[in-house]
Amino acid sequence: MRDFQLPGRSALYASNGLCATSHPLAAQTAIDILKQGGNAMDAAIAGAVLLGFCEPQSTGLGGDCFALFTDPGGGNIRAFNGSGRAPAAADPDALRAQGHDIVPEYDAAAITIPGAVEGFCRLAADHGRLGLEAILAPSIRYAEEGVPVAPRVAFDWQAARDVPRGHGKTHYLSGGAPLPVGAIFRSPGQAELLRRVARDGADAFYTGEIAEDMLSTLTALGGVHTADDFASHRGNYTDAISGTYGGKDLLEHPPNGQGATAILMLNILKHFDLSGLDPLGPERTHLEAEAAKLAYDARNRLIADPDHTTRIAHMLAPETAAKLAALIRPDAVIADPVPLTESVHRDTVYITVVDRDRMAVSMIYSIFHSFGSGYASEKFSVLFQNRGAGFCLSPGHPNELGGGKRPMHTIIPAMLAENGQATTSFGVMGGAYQPCGHARYVSNRLDYGMEAQTALDAPRAFAEEGVLKLERGYSEATRAALSDLGHKVVTPDAPIGGAQAITILPDGVLEGASDPRKDGCALGY
């Protein structure tokens, strides 16, 4: 139990249904959908779409989504891949000939086909109850009436104030300036877009006037996208991948997501007795940092569109983790093995919902960088993701840019399970940090016995780009010990990630936890 004399928040307990996400209006909307008779899938989609207006810097209809979900009762965990592909005419040789060694982040070449809208429509039809009209009604209303800008959203908006460009400036800035706390963000063009999707389904987005609006903008930017690229988009159902840690199964989304990285990282950490270490001490922090470097190196080599690589089994093999664990020394720092050959991001939204029937949904939705590519369509103000910056340009690499390919994705939903039954639905925002965040949350819960909210509140560390980022919650003694060991310790300007979690307790009660690094909360009834 937390110390009630210190700052913090309690977990939320409910019996009928619960949502945890990064904005209160989205959490309330999800609960309202449940009260209307919708299930967890309806509620998760309704809340996720609304997050595109509550947090437009982080996500939107021009982005992608991934989901893990269960049947009522919490069993039969499945996955859905709602990520878009590069246009068929995408040409890595053309970019290399222009002198690029990575896909330029704010260029039409980085804009992939949006996958989220088709994913939401398919999941609603296949696994929801209420239908699109009811699910999208709250977002249509908020897009028209507007959403007051929340504090963390304003912080991110200010940090990315130079990203919106072209029609993106018109739709996502006010007089060329970012919106401050309390300002009202409206998007009437997207309200009309959602009305059409509610009436006609995904075809309204991927064909007809909305697709033409997107294509005219992309063509003007020099993009090679075509009407066929939009009309042919389909997401797909797939099987979750899994690993074990502390007697629990960790379920992750398979490639092209990076979920295997979290499993590999925990498989490496199994070789050390973390439970005997101070959770905020230098020893645990060092081991986690070294495991992250090795796991992320494997990710950079192996994870790509599953249609183009089949080496994921190598990442999940116990032998791989054992060999990597043997490279970690308690008294030395591993130099970053390989520099990243693709871009990583820090902006995403995550929502999890469990309903009265104990159907659980873990859903994540993103436009990649803050404000994505920065470009938006003229009439319907669809902000395009720049997820194609997740490709690399190394010839022959499995994640090399190619026509019709899906890039390596950083966004990953997760669940913990026992005997095939989901016990926790959770996710961590924060771009490249996400696998490390998954591993840390699982370790906090299982190695240190932290309650769910405490596990999210606890200070975070992340070894990235040659430095070890430590949030301000670490002691000076830990910082000094890590510096003496050889880590380049820095304090990041922004918090590391953000997370949400719902635990299904043995008696069936739901426990919701929400990261204070975001504006959101857990709500239930």
- Which residues are known catalytic residues? 348
What is the chain's length? 525
Given a contact cutoff of 8 angstroms between Cβ atoms, the answer to whether 251 and 77 are in contact is: yes
Kindly give the residue spans of alpha helices, DSSP state H, lying in 395-465: 433-446, 452-457
Query: Measured between alpha carbons, how far is 399 from 341 in angstroms, rounded to an integer?
Result: 9
Q: Could you give the 3-state DSSP secondary structure of residue 215?
A: helix
| Residue type present at position 28 | Q
Query: Measured between alpha carbons, how far is 136 from 61 in angstroms, rounded to an integer?
Result: 12
Given a contact cutoff of 8 angstroms between Cβ atoms, the answer to whether 103 and 393 are in contact is: yes
Reading the block at residue 327, the tokens are 């490279």
Cis-peptide, bond into residue 76, ω within 30° of zero:
no
Query: Measured between alpha carbons, how far is 223 from 442 in angstroms, rounded to an integer?
Result: 42
Query: Measured between alpha carbons, how far is 371 from 105 in angstroms, rounded to an integer?
Result: 12
Query: Measured between alpha carbons, how far is 386 from 482 in angstroms, rounded to an integer?
Result: 35
Sign of CA dihedral 251, 254, 259, 264: positive
